[in-house]
Amino acid sequence: MISVLWKIPYRKAVREKGRSICIIAAVFFTTVLFVAFFSALFFVMDAAEEMMRTTSPVLADAILPVSEDEYERISQNKHVSETGVGTRFAIMQEPSGAGGIQLFAFDEKMAQWMRYYPIKGRTPKGDNEIVVSDQYLKECGLVFETGRTGGGQIVSGPDGTCAQEVQESDNDIKIQTELTYYVEDEAYTDTFTIVGIYEMSGQPLHVVWTSDAFCQKICRQLVKQGKNPEDVTYRMMGVMFSSRANIRRLVSMLTAEEGIELEEGGFFINDFSLFEGMGIGTWAAFLLLLSLIMMVGYLFISNIFQIFAIKEVRFYGKLSTGGVTRKEIKRIVRRGNALLFYIAVIPALAAGYFISAAVLPGILNVGTTLQIQRSGNVMIFVMALTFSYLTVKISGGKTVKMAKNASPIERKKHIGSFGKVRTAQDKDCLTKFALRSFLSDKTKVMKVCVSISLSFMLASAFYTVAEGFDVEEYVKGELDADYIFAKEPVFTNPNLNPVSYARVSEEEMMRYRTLPGIKEEGGAAMSLVNIRLPEEGVERFSRINGEYDKDEFGSSGSSGEAWVHLYGLDEMMLQKLVPIRGEIDWERFSSGGYVLLNPIYGDDNIENEACYNPGDKVTVHFRSGEEGEYTVMAIVDRMPLSLAFPQISLEGDMYLPMKTWRKMEKRTDYYLYAFDVEAGFHEAWDTALESVADALKETGSGRTAYRSARTEAGRVREYTDGLKLAGFVLSGVLLVMGMLNFVNCTVSGIYDRSKELAVLHSMGVEEWEIRKNLIKEGMLYMAGGIVPGMVLAFFGVYFLIEKVLAQPYITYHSYTFIYVLYAVLGCVAAVLAPWGVRRRMELKEIG
């Protein structure tokens, strides 16, 4: 390009300040919008990933079973930034008898990643020093109380192996205890000193953390016995990668590079990526919203470009006359646009981020359990910059085309085509002038009308859904009791270990029983038990869920063993079960000897087939070692979600009366306890509950969480309020954009036709008549936007609520005030915009 031409875009930008400021403002506003959108997106994603991370049972990127040699090789791999290791060498039984505890020697890093790092006390260093879980202490009958001073009290656990001596200092734990543990089926008993306690909160394994010295001692014993410690111990390695981009791919690369074969199910990958969990619906919603913002930006920016392009057509025509090629003209226009873009976008990115960081967390935290905070994710700026640039580029496309096609000969007025016209003698020509001006650029009209229509539809949809949302009805469907108590992981961790989860004790529930107004109460317990499926059951399961892996569980003739969830339910809970096949005689059921069973879990099980039929006998092997035979009384529907254990058995869960379950499992704990409270006492409960929960927390019993109708209703109300707010913000933005576009169209239309309007004035058309005509045009814009929006909203929102959402807790109502509001706003804009422009033109002339 000739250097003189290069100066044109810069000089135009400086000389035509009004134009430059308008374009800069448009780009600024659009970029702020993009920054807000991507900030919201990344704030939420970062918060969700953080929540996934903190609730994940493991903090390392991956946990892999390895040999010593493999451990050394992986530690040196270039993809790996950090490693930790743990060695299991023995097992023992939980004091309650419910399950097993594995004895592990960890390094500190691995202990932290596996969440076994002590919250009280310290890590094990000496030979017989150990760190145990708070649940272990509880099962021993020990409660570690902070601030307790003085001497100790000797307390024995169920098998007489625990003893306790409490020291003075809070953080200095030294509890002597005897443990019986098994190394390759051989039992050993040793005295250990508990020096630290970790919190049981959803870890995959219940573990006692020993010192490395003790593990080495065991290994030396094995060697003396002529055994290879590698065959007896199980080493697992925690890995943190340098990059978090795709953990699964990194694990594959790592194992391929180091020649390690991993068995399916034998390793754990901590993939926090939200993208993998996003379905088509989520992606569609995301892309729709992004397109909406781009369209809004496009509407705004392209119109401003066009206003000025129309005026500059002659200028570009002159360039063409002087021999400047189309390509060069295109580059001049693009450079001018780019210059203004970069001037606007940098401060917009900064301003957009500051506004988003200040405002968005507060808005987004409404109606979500995520703790959303601002995050400085650089992708916010990259994405906002990219989309803003794309929007400007697309918006300027038409302008570039107009400029490069400007004729050097004629001054062509860009007013579009009119098509065929039928002249009617009796129609007012001024009205026709208004109508044809309105229709002259259909694209501009579409931009304004679509924007306003969409705004109305969104406002109507969001408001109608939010207002029609019956919170009480929704909560009734969500919660199956007034107050439901459990340890927090039961509510929040869908992968909760069915054996070693944190439990709620009778003593904890005693505190709640002192609260007034209890109508009904009951608890649910759960254990993982072993049953043998009959051949028919296996066949049914295979048909519904695919081949049943009999070999996995060991085969006994033609039937397969299965580990299923066995519930022990109090009467209140039992009453929640709904029979599908067979009838429940509660009196007979409570006497013992009977069990209830769920159908096989599977999408294809429309006939509700179960592994057993009513009348069949099932032998249950309890974890306590007891065995019982029960008759299936009925096939029942699943436990209500709000009361059920987070995990399910694909073969179908089973249910016993609590008395029977406790007798067989020899346990008295619950995973969940619920109360129904008389009306009028809810407020007292809500007030009292917080202080009770805090007190329980302090005793080291872990976090007892609860769900209540009130808290759920509050949460849902926050959500619906957030929904309304989001809807109004979005529709408000669209409305502002539509109105601004309308104002742009009006301004450009009036200035573009200033000569024609002057001709009319010269022919004796008074100023008020001219303004009346311009208002008619404005009304056409508003009608074109609001009327279709109203019609579509009226039917669309009804369809959305009644047919698409179709929920009993959302009902359709028509809210006239939105219609009236938009109609009034439309009329005001239609009158004020042309009036204001003409007034300004008048003042300029007077000036």
Partner 1 sequence: MEREIVVDVQNVSKFYDNPSGKVRVLDHVNMRIGKGEFAAIVGDSGSGKTTLLNLVGGMDSVSEGTIHIAGEAISDFDDRKRTLFRRRQVGFIFQDYNLIHELTVYENIILPLQLKKKKIVEDTIDEYLEMLRLKEKKNVFPMQLSGGEQQRTAVLRALLCEPDIILADEPTGNLDSVNTQVVVKLLRHFSTSMNRAILFVTHNRELTKCCDRVITVKDGRIIGG
Provide the binding-site residues for partner 1, judged by CB under 8 A. Answer: 413, 415, 418, 421-423, 425, 428-430, 432-433, 436-437, 440, 755-756, 759-767
User: Token pair of 763, please?
Assistant: 């022919």
CB 172 within 8 A of CB 151: no
Q: Convert 603-669 into a string of H (helix), E (strand) and C (coil).
A: CCCCCCCCCCCCCCEEEEECCCCCEEEEEEEEEECCCCCCCCCCCCCCCCCEEEEHHHHHHHHCCCC
Residue 484 DSSP symbol: E
The dihedral built from the CA positions of residue 664, 665, 667 and 668, taken in this order, carries a sign that is negative
In the bound complex, what is the minimum distance in angstroms from residue 798's beta carbon to partner 1? 40
DSSP three-state, residue 598:
coil
The dihedral built from the CA positions of residue 411, 413, 418 and 423, taken in this order, carries a sign that is negative
CB 360 within 8 A of CB 374: yes
CA 29 to chain centre: 28
Please tell me the number of Cα atoms within 13 Å of 461 on its side-chain side. 23
Residue 670 DSSP symbol: B
DSSP three-state, residue 129:
strand
Residue 737 dihedral angles phi and psi, to the nearest 5°: -60, -45
Nearer to partner 1, 430 or 783 (CB): 430
Nearer to partner 1, 78 or 422 (CB): 422
In the bound complex, what is the minimum distance in angstroms from residue 410's beta carbon to partner 1? 10
Residue 800 DSSP symbol: I
CA 372 to chain centre: 11
CA 415 to chain centre: 49
In the bound complex, what is the minimum distance in angstroms from residue 430's beta carbon to partner 1? 8
C-alpha distances out from residue 456 to 533, 655, 663, 725, Å: 59, 52, 64, 15
Nearer to partner 1, 413 or 519 (CB): 413
Mark residue 599 as left, alpha or beta (left: phi above 0; alpha: psi -120 to 50; beta: remaining).
beta
Nearer to partner 1, 392 or 434 (CB): 434
Query: Which of 654, 673, 391 has the alpha carbon at shortest distance from 518?
Result: 673
Nearer to partner 1, 318 or 761 (CB): 761
DSSP three-state, residue 819:
helix
User: Token pair of 782, please?
Assistant: 């508003």
In the bound complex, what is the minimum distance in angstroms from residue 762's beta carbon to partner 1? 6
**Parallel, antiparallel or unpaired: strands 654-657 and 559-569:** parallel
In the bound complex, what is the minimum distance in angstroms from residue 777's beta carbon to partner 1? 11
In the bound complex, what is the minimum distance in angstroms from residue 774's beta carbon to partner 1? 13
Nearer to partner 1, 309 or 434 (CB): 434
Nearer to partner 1, 61 or 752 (CB): 752
User: Token pair of 835, please?
Assistant: 């009036």
DSSP three-state, residue 749:
helix
Degrees (nearest 5) of the Cα angle 457, 458, 459?
Answer: 95
In the bound complex, what is the minimum distance in angstroms from residue 759's beta carbon to partner 1? 4
Nearer to partner 1, 214 or 433 (CB): 433
In the bound complex, what is the minimum distance in angstroms from residue 423's beta carbon to partner 1? 5
In the bound complex, what is the minimum distance in angstroms from residue 405's beta carbon to partner 1? 16
Residue 206 DSSP symbol: -
In the bound complex, what is the minimum distance in angstroms from residue 766's beta carbon to partner 1? 5
Nearer to partner 1, 508 or 752 (CB): 752
In the bound complex, what is the minimum distance in angstroms from residue 763's beta carbon to partner 1? 6
What one-letter code names the amino acid at 14?
V
In the bound complex, what is the minimum distance in angstroms from residue 426's beta carbon to partner 1? 9
Nearer to partner 1, 440 or 608 (CB): 440
Query: Which of 100, 56, 104, 55 has the alpha carbon at shortest distance from 84?
Result: 104
Q: How many residues appear in the chain?
A: 847
Nearer to partner 1, 436 or 703 (CB): 436
In the bound complex, what is the minimum distance in angstroms from residue 754's beta carbon to partner 1? 12
The 10 Å CB-count burial string (b at 16+, else e) for 641-663 is ebbbbbbbbbbbbbbbbbebbeb
In the bound complex, what is the minimum distance in angstroms from residue 810's beta carbon to partner 1? 49
Rounded distance, CA 667 to CA 664, Å?
8
When computed from its CA atoms, the radius of gyration of the chain, rounded to whole angstroms, is: 36
Rounded distance, CA 333 to CA 597, Å?
74
C-alpha distances out from residue 35 to 38, 217, 363, 388, Å: 5, 60, 15, 9
In the bound complex, what is the minimum distance in angstroms from residue 785's beta carbon to partner 1? 22
Nearer to partner 1, 441 or 609 (CB): 441
In the bound complex, what is the minimum distance in angstroms from residue 304's beta carbon to partner 1? 23
- Please name the residue that has the structure tokens 């606007």: 344
Nearer to partner 1, 414 or 550 (CB): 414
- Please name the residue that has the structure tokens 């879990």: 601
Query: Which of 42, 36, 39 has the alpha carbon at shortest distance from 293?
Result: 36
Nearer to partner 1, 441 or 480 (CB): 441
CB 68 within 8 A of CB 235: yes
Q: Which residues pair with 182 in a beta bridge?
A: 91, 187
Nearer to partner 1, 381 or 433 (CB): 433
Nearer to partner 1, 513 or 761 (CB): 761
In the bound complex, what is the minimum distance in angstroms from residue 291's beta carbon to partner 1? 34
Nearer to partner 1, 11 or 755 (CB): 755
